[in-house]
Amino acid sequence: DIQMTQSPSSLSASVGDRVTISCRPSQNIRSYLTWYQHKPGSAPKLLISAASSLQSGVPTRFSGSGSGTDFTLTISSLQPEDFATYYCQQSFSLPFTFGPGTKVDIK
């Protein structure tokens, strides 16, 4: 199985801050990387697929980059509704695997 790591595991930030989250798979997954946002009690929300393709309706302050074994999710200016846990997921090979999550909370 492809192991996924994320860093940091959690971070505290203020509204307006720029936030970056790293995701590293244990092997080259080309651009087969998806990002999700998850708030407690809610369904996870698809943000970005294919490493950098923003889903329809997702604010443009979210962006994704990277390929191979190094990926980044960036929130350019954190908004109150962005406080959540963010997960990456590889779609390169079965079984699909997720990162452990990065919890973004209010400083």
Partner 1 sequence: QVQLQESGPGLVKPSETLSLNCSVSGDSISGYWSWIRQPAGKRLEWIGRVDTSGRTDYNPSLRSRLTMSVDTSRNQFSLRLTSATAADTAVYYCARGSGSRPFDYWGQGILITVS
Q: Which is nearer to partner 1, 66 or 101 (CB)?
A: 101
Stretch that binds partner 1, among 11-19, 63-71, 75-83, 87-95 (CB under 8 A): 87-95
Nearest to 35 by CA among 17, 16, 50, 15: 50
Among 29, 89, 102, 104, binds partner 1 (CB under 8 A): 89
Among 25, 64, 66, 101, binds partner 1 (CB under 8 A): 101
